[in-house]
Structure 1
Amino acid sequence: MRYLFAPFLLVSVLCRAEAGPFSLADPLQLDLGGSVHIQFQALIADDPVSVHDLLNRWQGPIHPKEGTNLAIDDARTDIGFSMQKGGYFGYTYRHQSFIRTNRDTALLAWQQLNDIDFTPGKRYDLQLAIDGFEADGLLYAKAFEPVETPYGSLHVGIGFELLRGRNMQEGSLEGSAVANSQTDYDFSAVADYRYSENYLYTLDVKKPEGYGFSSHLSLQWRSERYSLHLLCNDLVGEIRWRELPYSYVNVNSSNKSYDENGFIIYNPTVSGKEISIDHTQRLYRKWRTEGTFKVDSDMDITAGADWVQGYTFPYGGISYHFASGLQTAFSYESRFESLALKITYGGLYLSFRSDDMKHPSILGANLSYRYRF
């Protein structure tokens, strides 16, 4: 782990577990009756480079993982109100993408962007996949009356969104590259790519229109000392795009140019199919499972995991409830080796997540406020 978190460690014995790293809407937390609620959640994570370097065209050191490398952007904002019996109504804004690539692709991109010498004769296997969208719309959530049993109570919540698509990225690229010298390489790859803006090569396109929906499910079993929670966002969800730009093309280096340092410039030759299509984008599910054990009236222990796109993000932590009403929490997430600190007081909730104070590869934040009337 690459972090210096002394302040977090000092409060780790006085904490309540932070929920998982992804930005999720929980119908059981939205529909609490007689309140106005505002929440902002955001997560950005990248395996090969730090968040700062990711936003600065990879201008910094690289530390790719063996095997699959992930780059994740996951944010949502919810503003709305819940009534005593009618449920929660609100506006939602969502922005999320999930990128998978391999070590070779990340390394070649980093060398290209930083004019780092290539190793003559080295072969790069190129693999890249992306799935993401930007949308806003209306959200309705309903928490039903709990079902009481001799062993505890079962709580059920559902949510439904009507979405207007703003942007999308979906597709894959596969191919190979071979370094000819320290400053030059040949490459060829096939891209199967749907998009609202083309980031693979220069192409002006008309912005598509998209409309869709999504559904959420929250189940929680509670007893005196234990609770189990299952939450799924986008259980069934899609955005239907009209006149969406689509490219099924070969990109290669047959037409080369070089910068002032003699390094090859990425400016691919493109051949194949470039059309507009009607396309239904299926929204990928985001799952969370969580269990909590109440040690005593003041302290809880929690363990759980988020599951997204076939990858698991386990976490665990402890929490403490002060007599003043203040609650603090500390948790650790193992996939990106990140720490999170949460503070709750009255209707205010704050949390922050990172793996490093100076050069984080993951940053997360959650800010919400609830006013009861």
Structure 2
Amino acid sequence: MVNPATRTLPAENLAVTFSSQIFEANDYTSMRHFSDDWRGAYTPREGKNLGVSFARADVSAREASWSVGYFYRHDILLESNRDTTDLVYANKIVAPVPVGKNYDINLEMNGFEAHGVRLDKAVSWQTQRAWNATVGVGASLLKGQRTRMGQAHGNALSTATGYTYDLNMTDADSNKTYPFMPLGEVSSTGYALDLGIRLQWQDGKRLDLA
């Protein structure tokens, strides 16, 4: 979420700024456990396991209450069911699994990368009270760079020597080359409009709304 009221606070001279943000949220197991070594406790529950990861970076030039900049974003959403997460956990920590145990596999991953430009404008008011207000509006144009969509559905049966799998798997990545298929190309554009407010008190406290 971008609050244009915080990006374009009035400045007397031309200034160039760089900012980055990384946000991750997991319910109930971290996405990193699926690709890296398992660390920490495992507290599963029934239902979907959700993981999201958002990364943002931008460089902007601002003068007075105007700002123009270039930005990059990378988003990932991962969904898995309880059986899939249990199977990943058992394999990561090399835990024994009873022979003949059947796992219902259900895993989905969607992600994309994009870049673009944005323009922001802010207006500030000096009030007679103990706080000041800034209202900002912004517009951004977005162009896709990479998309990836993957799924795995089926069953896994534990045996004395490992597992036997009966799965239907798909992995579509615009940056990969597949046999007998032309190279993928991302063709997507979009735009976004943002409105934000910042209230600033004289004691340093502030409230941002976007």
CA deviation after TM superposition for structure 1 residue 55, in Å:
5.1
Identify which of 169, 176, 195 aligns with 1:218.
195
Judge conservation of contact 2:31–2:52 (CA < 8 Å) in 1.
Answer: no
The separation in 1 between residues aligned to 2:69 and 2:96, in whole angstroms, is 52
Per the alignment, do residues 223 and 89 of structure 1 end up closer, same or farther by CA in structure 2, a change over 3 Å counting?
A: closer
Q: State the partner residue of 1:81.
A: 61
Q: State the partner residue of 2:18.
A: 38
Identify which of 192, 195, 204 aligns with 2:173.
195
Per the alignment, do residues 126 and 216 of structure 1 end up closer, same or farther by CA in structure 2, a change over 3 Å counting?
A: farther
Q: How many residues align?
A: 200
Judge conservation of contact 2:198–2:209 (CA < 8 Å) in 1.
Answer: no
Q: Does residue 209 of structure 2 align to residue 230 of structure 1? A: yes
* 1:83 alignment partner, SS class: strand
Q: Does residue 60 of structure 2 align to residue 91 of structure 1? A: no
* 1:134-183 superposed Cα distances (whole Å, 9 cap, x missing partner): 12221222224559899x87643232222232211246544333334451
The separation in 2 between residues aligned to 1:129 and 1:156, in whole angstroms, is 40
The separation in 2 between residues aligned to 1:61 and 1:183, in whole angstroms, is 25
RMSD of aligned alpha carbons: 3.7
CA deviation after TM superposition for structure 1 residue 94, in Å:
1.1
Per the alignment, do residues 134 and 123 of structure 1 end up closer, same or farther by CA in structure 2, a change over 3 Å counting?
A: same
* 1:240-259 superposed Cα distances (whole Å, 9 cap, x missing partner): xxxxxxxxxxxxxxxxxxxx
The separation in 2 between residues aligned to 1:176 and 1:55, in whole angstroms, is 20
Q: Does residue 117 of structure 2 align to residue 156 of structure 1? A: no
What is the letter of the counterpart of residue 177 of structure 1? A
The separation in 1 between residues aligned to 2:2 and 2:198, in whole angstroms, is 18
Per the alignment, do residues 111 and 227 of structure 1 end up closer, same or farther by CA in structure 2, a change over 3 Å counting?
A: same
Q: State the partner residue of 2:3.
A: 26
CA deviation after TM superposition for structure 1 residue 45, in Å:
5.3
* 2:87 alignment partner, SS class: helix
Identify which of 96, 102, 111 aligns with 2:81.
102
**What is the percentage of aligned positions where both structures have the same residue?**
23
Q: Which runs of 5+ in 2 are unaligned?
A: none
Q: State the partner residue of 2:29.
A: 48
Judge conservation of contact 1:82–1:88 (CA < 8 Å) in 2.
Answer: yes
CA deviation after TM superposition for structure 1 residue 104, in Å:
1.3
Q: State the partner residue of 1:72.
A: 52
Q: State the partner residue of 1:63.
A: 42
What is the letter of the counterpart of residue 21 of structure 2? Q
CA deviation after TM superposition for structure 1 residue 190, in Å:
6.4
What is the letter of the counterpart of residue 29 of structure 2? P
CA deviation after TM superposition for structure 1 residue 97, in Å:
0.8
What is the letter of the counterpart of residue 191 of structure 2? S
Identify which of 177, 182, 185 aligns with 1:208.
185
Judge conservation of contact 1:126–1:175 (CA < 8 Å) in 2.
Answer: yes
The separation in 1 between residues aligned to 2:209 and 2:21, in whole angstroms, is 19
CA deviation after TM superposition for structure 1 residue 230, in Å:
3.1
The separation in 2 between residues aligned to 1:119 and 1:203, in whole angstroms, is 37
* 1:104-147 superposed Cα distances (whole Å, 9 cap, x missing partner): 11222344566544322323222223332112221222224559
* 1:119 alignment partner, SS class: coil
* 1:308-328 superposed Cα distances (whole Å, 9 cap, x missing partner): xxxxxxxxxxxxxxxxxxxxx
Q: Which runs of 5+ in 1 are unaligned?
A: 1-23, 232-373
Identify which of 99, 115, 125 aligns with 2:104.
125
When the two structures are superposed, what TM-score results if normalisation uses the length of structure 1?
Answer: 0.44
Deviates most, 222-231 or 203-212:
222-231
Per the alignment, do residues 25 and 208 of structure 1 end up closer, same or farther by CA in structure 2, a change over 3 Å counting?
A: same
